[in-house]
Amino acid sequence: MKRVPVSSTVLRSVGYAEDEAVLEVEFTNREVYRYFVVPRSVYTALMTSASPGRYFNQTIRDRYPTRQVQ
């Protein structure tokens, strides 16, 4: 999945597969996780947020099924 860099102290890059509703997040420590059943609106809000890290922590983390990518 192609990710784009984000300006954040927590997140390094973010990608989204609309056909699968999968959000892929790379953290600053280079770990990558996929979040499932994420609506496009949540991805859009994340990418336009003044603080993507805060938005992620408040809206996405621990709210969607997730799996670490090897």
What pLDDT is attached to residue 9?
Answer: 95
Q: Count CB neighbours of 38 within 10 A.
A: 24
> Dihedral (C-alpha) 49, 54, 57, 58: value to the nearest 10 degrees?
-70
Q: What is the pLDDT of residues 14-38, one digit of tens each?
A: 999 999 999 999 999 999 999 999 9
Q: What is the pLDDT of residues 41-67, one digit of tens each?
A: 999 999 999 999 999 999 999 999 999
Pairing of strands 22-27, 32-36: antiparallel
What's the full length of the chain, in residues?
70
List Cβ neighbours of 67 (8 Å cut-off, separation of 6 or more): 33, 34, 36
What pLDDT is attached to residue 70?
Answer: 78
Q: What is the pLDDT of residues 3-14, one digit of tens each?
A: 999 999 999 999
CA–CA distance, 69 with 48 (Å, rounded to integer): 25
